[in-house]
Homo-oligomer: A and B are copies of this chain.
Amino acid sequence: MEVQVWRADVEERVVTNEPVPASWEQLGGRSLIARILLDEVPATCDPLGPFNKLIIAPGLLVGHMVSSCDRISIGGKSPLTGGVKESNAGGSTGLKLVHLGIKVLILEGTPTEDKWWILHLNANGGRYEPADDLFGHGVYQTTQRLLECYGPKIGIALIGPGGEMRLTAAGVQNLDKDREPSRISARGGLGAVMGAKRLKAIVIDSSGGEKPPLADPELFKSAQKHYTKELMDHPQTASYTNYGTAAMTRMSDGFGGIPTRNYSSGTFEGVEKISGEAMRDLLLARGGASNPTHACMTGCTIRCSNVFGDVKGNNIVSPVEYETIGLIGANLGIDDLDAIAHINWELNDLGLDSIEIGAALGVAAEAGLMEFGDARRAMELISEIRQGTTLGRVLGSGAAVTGRVLGVGRVPVAKGQAMAGYDPRAIKGTGVTYATSPQGADHTAGLTIRAKVNHLDPKEQMEISRISQIKMAGYDTLGICLFGGFGFAKTPGSIRDLLKGRYGWDVGDDVLQELGRETLKLECAFNQAAGFGPEDDRLPEWMTTEPLPPHNSVFDVPNEDLDRVFDWT
């Protein structure tokens, strides 16, 4: 099966295939998105207009079910930040695309008619099918309908009502290995870009497809084996297996950095009720659908995901992640895991980023639209989004717009994108990442919480953010999950061998860093062409002046450091 570039012109409703250009061959996932944006998308274009493209690119290692290495990157020019955007997810989308020989799927144009479509891809090519009957339906119901229609073996990337409404907090949902539409490419409003293209869903039927060939099967297999063992042996892996990302709840609170009541405190009095430990105990006690240990991708040995069930044994939502616990829990003063899980389902069904909406609700609470701690009111506000009221559209546009409209100055954003569950005044290296990442505030672009530094000291933060940003950009290019990194910690050469085994490329030991640096360089170039400059690589003014309890620290990493992050030559 020849590896090709697939293009779907949603205006003309055609799908075409073409050879992979030489300059794209050794790129994948996040780096390929940046390259295509630079090559094909005018940097100053309207992100919801006809010149933006939605780019769906599996990472370079996707296709062989190596543990945690099958992630899908979705990208384009962000309608939230106005800059480059890549948002990756687990699930099965990447695997299915690769099995059809799709190096990258590029969605182009905007239709003139207000009709909705499904893009159906299989070994024979692509076709469009009418989807007006799916318009307005939530992600879960839409998924059910598509599975009934196209059979249980498909992959799906789809949007909910949030993307249909072109809300800039909307993401693209992907099926996990159990066909739950729970793996969201959440950040940066890519669901709105898909909505602007009037695509409700992309259905991927990979039957007749195949795993990509291996240049050196033996080398590949041995590298895979070595990596998997190292991953399983790493102490952190067990923690994620047991507690998932929710392990971060206590840790973030312990550092005084959990966002609490619209980032007004770094410690939450209700933290023990919403910790990973509390959630594991709860799920184990409940049994039934509940499962504290669950894999989102076939072959994943970490299994950091979970299934959150109710007392009767029914599934509420899968998974509940730390970022949602942080932003919907502590940040809204909500200490009830069931309430958080129900809100999480609602946001998943709407196809919205729970970080962005959590931050927007925190701002709304500060404006007096809800009391902190009132989960019922939070749900009411989210139902405004579903109804498409003006208030709902404001919230669905994210924290920056919510603050602007409601007249709230304390808005936790960088480049217009909400911060995740680590207050940059307490975890300052992550603050450097928020400020400088071409992606806008994004913990997955370079979290530093595990670095062995004093997180309150403004020194050294630039270096640890840089190291982390380069590494993450590399992982996002390869399709490796953040946690897969534990398996490469001692033997980075495994990445070299996996690439050699798969493609036959003669790459060096530091291929991860090389790919990361190349990716960041491309992304910075796109942002620069879009009009970004050093002034955009800053945190909000109030975070530099308003002390954060309990450490009463402000964000004080010098601007000179922020301006040197990508200056590594």
Contact B535 A409 (CB under 8 A): no
Tell me whether A12 is interfacial, beta carbon within 8 Å.
no
* Pick from B51, B167, B391, B533: contact of A533, CB under 8 Å: B533
The winner among A165, A390, A530, A540 for most chain B CB atoms within 10 A is: A390
Given A530-B535, A531-B533, also A46-B407 (CB < 8 A):
no
Query: Shortest beta-carbon distance, A405 to chain B, in Å?
Result: 5
**In the bound complex, what is the Cα–Cα distance between A51 and B542 (angstroms)?**
11
Tell me whether A48 is interfacial, beta carbon within 8 Å.
yes
**A390 cross-chain contacts in B, Cβ below 8 A:** 389-391, 394, 405-406
**A394 cross-chain contacts in B, Cβ below 8 A:** 390, 394, 405
**A46 cross-chain contacts in B, Cβ below 8 A:** 409, 540-542
The winner among A46, A49, A401, A405 for most chain B CB atoms within 10 A is: A405
**In the bound complex, what is the Cα–Cα distance between A8 and B429 (angstroms)?**
39
Query: Shortest beta-carbon distance, A455 to chain B, in Å?
Result: 25
Query: Shortest beta-carbon distance, A317 to chain B, in Å?
Result: 27
**A409 cross-chain contacts in B, Cβ below 8 A:** 46, 48-49
Query: Shortest beta-carbon distance, A539 to chain B, in Å?
Result: 11
**A536 cross-chain contacts in B, Cβ below 8 A:** 531
Given A390-B405, A394-B405, A397-B404, also A535-B43 (CB < 8 A):
yes
Contact B407 A165 (CB under 8 A): yes
Tell me whether A168 is interfacial, beta carbon within 8 Å.
yes
Tell me whether A44 is interfacial, beta carbon within 8 Å.
yes
Query: Shortest beta-carbon distance, A564 to chain B, in Å?
Result: 18
Near B by CB (< 8 A), chain A positions 5-19 give none
Using an 8 Å CB-CB cutoff, how does the interface string of A501-542 with B read, 1 for contact, 0 for none?
A: 000000000000000000000000000011111111010111
Tell me whether A285 is interfacial, beta carbon within 8 Å.
no
* Pick from B43, B48, B397, B535: contact of A405, CB under 8 Å: B397
**In the bound complex, what is the Cα–Cα distance between A46 and B45 (angstroms)?**
26
**In the bound complex, what is the Cα–Cα distance between A304 and B265 (angstroms)?**
56
Contact B540 A529 (CB under 8 A): no
**A43 cross-chain contacts in B, Cβ below 8 A:** 535
Tell me whether A393 is interfacial, beta carbon within 8 Å.
yes
Tell me whether A471 is interfacial, beta carbon within 8 Å.
no
Interface size class of A (residues with CB under 8 A): 35 or more
Using an 8 Å CB-CB cutoff, how does the interface string of A133-156 with B read, 1 for contact, 0 for none?
A: 000000000000000000000000
Query: Shortest beta-carbon distance, A41 to chain B, in Å?
Result: 12
Tell me whether A166 is interfacial, beta carbon within 8 Å.
yes
**In the bound complex, what is the Cα–Cα distance between A45 and B390 (angstroms)?**
29
Query: Shortest beta-carbon distance, A524 to chain B, in Å?
Result: 14
**A406 cross-chain contacts in B, Cβ below 8 A:** 390, 393
Contact A168 B538 (CB under 8 A): no
**In the bound complex, what is the Cα–Cα distance between A394 and B394 (angstroms)?**
8
* Pick from B397, B529, B532, B542: contact of A49, CB under 8 Å: B542
**A51 cross-chain contacts in B, Cβ below 8 A:** 541
**A401 cross-chain contacts in B, Cβ below 8 A:** 401, 404-405
**In the bound complex, what is the Cα–Cα distance between A518 and B43 (angstroms)?**
32
The winner among A168, A389, A531, A540 for most chain B CB atoms within 10 A is: A531
Closest B residue, CB atoms, query A407: B166
Near B by CB (< 8 A), chain A positions 531-569 give 531-536, 538, 540-542
**A542 cross-chain contacts in B, Cβ below 8 A:** 46, 49
**In the bound complex, what is the Cα–Cα distance between A533 and B82 (angstroms)?**
14
Closest B residue, CB atoms, query A411: B46
Query: Shortest beta-carbon distance, A56 to chain B, in Å?
Result: 23
Query: Shortest beta-carbon distance, A95 to chain B, in Å?
Result: 33
**A166 cross-chain contacts in B, Cβ below 8 A:** 407
Query: Shortest beta-carbon distance, A114 to chain B, in Å?
Result: 12
Closest B residue, CB atoms, query A192: B407
**A165 cross-chain contacts in B, Cβ below 8 A:** 407
**A534 cross-chain contacts in B, Cβ below 8 A:** 531
**In the bound complex, what is the Cα–Cα distance between A323 and B385 (angstroms)?**
35
Near B by CB (< 8 A), chain A positions 217-264 give none
**In the bound complex, what is the Cα–Cα distance between A427 and B167 (angstroms)?**
34
**In the bound complex, what is the Cα–Cα distance between A391 and B405 (angstroms)?**
9
**In the bound complex, what is the Cα–Cα distance between A397 and B393 (angstroms)?**
14
Near B by CB (< 8 A), chain A positions 29-61 give 43-46, 48-49, 51
17 contacting pairs across A/B (C-beta < 8 A): A44-B535, A44-B541, A45-B541, A46-B542, A389-B390, A390-B394, A390-B405, A390-B406, A393-B405, A393-B407, A397-B405, A401-B405, A405-B405, A529-B535, A531-B535, A531-B536, A533-B533
The 4 closest A-B pairs by CB, nearest first: A531-B535, A390-B391, A46-B541, A166-B407
Sample of 19 more A-B contacts, CB < 8 Å, known A44-B535, A44-B541, A529-B535: A43-B535, A46-B409, A46-B541, A51-B541, A168-B404, A389-B390, A390-B394, A390-B406, A391-B391, A393-B405, A393-B407, A394-B394, A397-B404, A401-B404, A405-B405, A531-B532, A531-B533, A531-B536, A533-B533
